[in-house]
Chains A and B, each alone.
Chain A
Amino acid sequence: MIYYIYDGSFDGLLTAIYEAYYRHQEPEKILRDGSIQDNLFIEHVYIKADQQKAQRVYNAIVNKISPAAAKKVLYAFLSEAEDAATTIYRYLKLGFKLGKSVDSALADPYVFRVHFLHGKVSGEAGKMLGLVRFRLLKSGIFYAPIEPDYNILGIIAPHFKKRLPTQDWIIHDLKRKLAAFYSQGHYAVVPFEFNGALSLDDDEFDYQTLWKEYFHNIAIKSRINPRLQRQFMPVRYWKHLIETPGGHSKS
Chain B
Amino acid sequence: MDLHTKLKILGAAAKYDVSCSSSGSSRRNRPGGLGNASLPGICHSWSDDGRCISLLKILFTNRCAFNCLYCVNRATADVPRASFTPDEVAQLTVNFYKRNYIEGLFLSSAVYKNPNYTMELLIATVKKLREEYQFNGYIHLKAIPGADPLLIAQAGKYVDRMSVNIELPSNAGLQLLAPQKNRDSIIKPMGFIHSKILQAKEERKIYKNAPLFVPAGQTTQLIVGATPDNDLKILRLSESLYKHFSLKRVYYSAYVPVTQHPNLPAIAGPPLMREHRLYQADWLLRFYGFKSDELLDEGHPLLDTEIDPKSAWALRNLHLFPVEVNRADYEMLLRVPGIGVRSAKRIITARRYSSIDFETLKRFGVVLKRARHFITCRGKFYGERNINELTLYQMLKPASGKQSGAEPSSEQLTFSSLYPNLFQPEDFHTVITGEM
A positions within 8 Å CB-CB of B:
101, 103-107, 112, 126-127, 129-136, 142, 144, 159-160, 162-167, 203, 207, 209-211, 213-220, 222-229, 231-233, 241-243, 245-248
Contacts and interface: CB of A to CB of B under 8 A. Distances in A.
Contacts of A135: 99
A217 B12 contact: yes
Contacts of B54: 130
Given A210-B92, A213-B8, A229 B100 contact: no
Interface stretch (B147-155, B286-294, B348-356, B421-429): B348-356
Given A165-B29, A213-B7, A217-B8, A129 B49 contact: no
A106 B99 contact: no
Contacts of A164: 34-35, 98, 100
Contacts, number: 161
B99 A142 contact: yes
Contact of A210 (B3, B256, B405): B3
Interface residues of B, number: 57
26 contacts: A104-B349, A104-B350, A105-B353, A105-B354, A106-B349, A106-B350, A107-B353, A126-B42, A129-B38, A129-B42, A144-B100, A162-B36, A165-B29, A165-B33, A166-B34, A210-B7, A213-B4, A218-B53, A219-B15, A219-B48, A222-B256, A227-B50, A228-B50, A229-B49, A229-B50, A246-B48
Given A132-B100, A163-B36, A224 B48 contact: yes
Contacts of A226: 48, 50
B251 to A, nearest CB: 14
Contacts of A160: 100
Q: Give 6 closest A-B pairs by Cβ, nearest first.
A: A228-B50, A106-B350, A225-B50, A219-B48, A130-B44, A223-B49
A231 to B, nearest CB: 8
Given A144-B100, A207-B96, A210-B4, A112 B363 contact: yes
B46 A232 contact: yes
A207 B364 CA distance: 44
A217 B11 contact: yes
Contacts of B44: 130-131
B29 A105 contact: no
A79 B254 CA distance: 40
Contacts of B99: 133-136, 142, 207, 211, 242
B404 interface: yes
Interface in B1-36: 3-4, 7-8, 11-12, 15-16, 29, 32-36
A142 B350 CA distance: 46
Contacts of B103: 130
Contacts of B42: 126, 129-130
A163 B45 contact: no
B52 interface: yes
B49 A224 contact: yes
B48 A134 contact: no
A248 B54 CA distance: 20
B363 A217 contact: no
Nearest to B352: A104
B352 A245 contact: no
Contact of B269 (A217, A222, A225): A222
Contacts of A229: 46-50
Nearest to B54: A130
Given A129-B38, A166-B32, A166-B34, A215 B100 contact: no
